[in-house]
Amino acid sequence: MSGFERAAVRVIAVDIFGTTVDWYGGVAAQAGEVFREAGVGLDAGVFTNEWRDMYLPAMQRVRDGEREWAYLDTLHRESLDSLLDEHGVAGAFDEAARARLVRAWHTLPAWPDAVAGLARLRRCYTVAALSNGGFALLTRLVKAAELPVDCILSAELARAYKPAAQVYRTAARLLDVEPGQMLMVACHRWDLDGARAAGLRTAFVERPREKGPRHSADRAEDTVSDLAAADFGALADLLDC
């Protein structure tokens, strides 16, 4: 925490998928329903992990300039189609079922500490959602999970994806603060590394169950950040609000 001045922070930017909402539990539950209705015996939890694993490389291709910027929904749909092919079950899922699976990422449960913790942070700071999800997706997701934030700030507004510096800097510019006045909160090392490289302050929130029971998640001891907390309540304690 050396060099971290709480008083310098004016905006708290919170990552959404994994940090604030439980994508694994939410998508696996919804995918399980769709699989049952389709009569397909895939393990929805394993499938959810496989699907999510395709997300970082898909965004990397956008960042590397190999393809134009595209909505997260579009990336999810492309990787879903490949994955269903790989599992040899493409024929069991029509357009409506695939659209429903992509939309599963739009309605995800908040972690139990998120609503109360964010409400506390919001009393002291401007709190913004900052995710790679599109603006519409995030607005819908934040509303459904009743997350108390002051504004939605999607990577879409920068036509880029985290951890590209322009995403964090566009967020700071839109809120009229210096990058150093913004604290990025995430459970992913790569997100905090990107934020720090863009000049932001960083807070790690540990979500050991982020990827479900079969995968390990990033741990505080392996992550460089100004602050580290077990959940949003503990983060609010650290920030005295």
In this structure, what token pair is assigned to residue 170? 């566009």
Minimum separation from the CB atom of position 72 to its own copies (A): 12
Minimum distance between the CB of residue 216 and its own copies, rounded to whole angstroms? Answer: 34
Half-sphere exposure of 145 (CA within 13 A, CB side): 30
Residues in the chain: 241
Helix pair 23-38, 95-103: axis angle to 10 deg: 160
Beta-strand relationship, 227-229 and 201-205:
parallel
Residue with tokens 């507004």: 157
Question: Exposed, middle or buried by CB within 10 Å (0-12, 13-18, 19+), for 13?
Answer: buried
For its own copies, the closer of residues 48 and 154 by Cβ is 154
143 or 214: CB nearest its own copies: 143
Nearer to its own copies, 14 or 84 (CB): 14
**123/219 with CB nearer its own copies:** 123
Smallest separation (angstroms) from its own copies to the CB of 154: 8
What contacts 21, CB < 8 A, 6 or more positions away?
Answer: 108, 109, 110, 111, 114, 141, 145, 147
**Which tokens is 52 given?**
């999510």
Residues binding its own copies (CB under 8 A): 126, 128, 134-137, 139-140, 142-143, 150-152, 156-157, 174-177
182-186, strands of its sheet edge to edge: 151-152, 126-129, 11-14, 182-186, 201-205, 227-229
Closest CA to 15 of 232, 211, 165: 232
Specify the residue, 47 or 168, whose C-beta has the smaller distance to its own copies. Answer: 168
Q: At its nearest, how many Å lie between its own copies and the CB of residue 114?
A: 17
Of residues 152 and 236, the one with the C-beta less far from its own copies: 152
Minimum gap (Å) between residue 85 Cβ and its own copies: 27
Closest approach of Cβ 140 to its own copies, in Å? 7
